[in-house]
Amino acid sequence: MATLVLESSYSHLNHVEPENDTRILGFLLLGLSEEPELQPVMFGLFLSMYLTTVFGNLLIILAISSDSHLHTPMYFFLSNLSFVDICVTSTMVPKTLSNIQTQSKVITYTGCITQMYFFVLFIVLDSLLLTVMAYDRFVAICHPLHYTVIMNPRLCGLLVLASWIMSALNSLIESLMVLPLLFCTDFKIPHFFCELNQVICIACSDTFLNNMVLYLAAVLLGGGCLTGILYSYSKIVSSICAISSAQGKYKAFSTCASHFSVVSLFYCTGLGVYLSSAATHNSLSSATAPVMYTMVTPMLNPFIYSLRNKDIKGALKQFFRRKK
């Protein structure tokens, strides 16, 4: 075994002679590119995407909270989704911007574990909230007469609370299982943030149990959420097709069009980029893959909901008029 001492840059990474234990003080985040001339471009791109994400989702939250007409289950879930989208990008982008600005690739061991915990927490919570929103649309369209009774404030609160608890427990288990892992020689992470799968891959100890838990969580949480969403939308489509008038069909479809667009963007980018990166085994593609669903999707969500939703557009106009 070996003791690895990590300081502020490549030149300060020292390999200490073998001892009786392995201690890691940090890792190197290789990022998307090591080309010096691309660093200012990447800094500007990351910063602009981050500010757009935070500003856009914050506007959605403020518009919903300021308009009493939007205090409904659908917009309650949407405000929670916007908050989580801000949190997803905030777990990694500030550190990435700091590393680019200081020309350092270092992240401490504690910082890596913390970043990994919150990233898993919020990305799973994102998926669970999208599932809850799909159920809300299912009740609204398939059982409109009982909607207010079924989707009461107590149930809405319990659904969000259950999503938080499940996400927190899953993230805690997966993060704690990383702590016993040993890192002997390889402490370079081919990403711009500490992703759980990549950290497990560079460990030199047995990671069978970690991989099993990782895949089991992906099947139960990811697969379960996707199954619930597909089931809800299959029932929604059946109900819409049963509506006789074209105007009624359009009205029913418009209530779930924005959510369906966000769900498609989230899952298609998440599955597509990882399947492509796994097929190419290219470190650059595997590093750029998370950018799609961790930064692009949260950035586009406010535009999707505001452009396709008259209530949100009206609330935003009213909010800005009130400020003026």
What mean pLDDT do residues 70-90 have?
93
The 3-state secondary structure of the chain reads CCEEECCCCHHHCEEECCCCCCCECEEEECCCCCCHHHHHHHHHHHHHHHHHHHHHHHHHHHHHHHCHHHCCHHHHHHHHHHHHHHHHHHCCHHHHHHHHHHCCCEEEHHHHHHHHHHHHHHHHHHHHHHHHHHHHHHHHHHCHHHHHHHCCHHHHHHHHHHHHHHHHHHHHHHHHCCCCCCCCCCCEECCCCCCHHHHHHCCCCCCHHHHHHHHHHHHHHHHHHHHHHHHHHHHHHHHHHHCCCHHHHHHHHHHHHHHHHHHHHHHHHHHHHHHHHHHHCCHHHHHHHHHHHHHHHHHHHHHHHHHCCHHHHHHHHHHHHHHC
Q: What is the pLDDT of residues 274-291, one digit of tens each?
A: 565 555 555 555 556 667
* pLDDT at position 74 over 50: yes
Q: Look at the block and give the residue holding tokens 């099947």.
A: 219
**Band of pLDDT at residue 322, cut at 50, 70 and 90:** confident
Average pLDDT of the chain to the nearest whole number:
83
- Note the pLDDT of residue 321: 76
- Largest interatomic CA distance in the chain: 77
Q: Are 119 and 178 in contact (CB under 8 A)?
A: no
- How large a percentage of the chain has pLDDT more than 70? 85
Structural domains of the chain sorted by starting position, each given as residue range(s) with its CATH number in brackets: 36-91+120-180+205-323 (1.20.1070.10)
User: What distance in Å separates the CA atoms of residue 204 and residue 86, rounded to the nearest whole number?
Assistant: 34
What mean pLDDT do residues 87-91 have?
94
Q: Are 61 and 116 in contact (CB under 8 A)?
A: no
For 151, phi and psi rounded to 5 degrees?
-90, 60
Q: What is the pLDDT of residues 174-195, one digit of tens each?
A: 999 999 998 887 788 888 889 8
Crossing angle of helices 297-307/310-323, nearest 10°? 90
- How large a percentage of the chain has pLDDT more than 90? 44
**Band of pLDDT at residue 122, cut at 50, 70 and 90:** very high
User: What distance in Å separates the CA atoms of residue 71 and residue 73, rounded to the nearest whole number?
Assistant: 7
> What pTM value is reported for the model?
0.87
Q: Are strands 26-29 and 14-16 parallel, antiparallel or unpaired?
A: unpaired
What mean pLDDT do residues 145-153 have?
93
* pLDDT at position 23 over 70: no
The 3-state secondary structure of 237-273 reads HHHHHHCCCHHHHHHHHHHHHHHHHHHHHHHHHHHHH
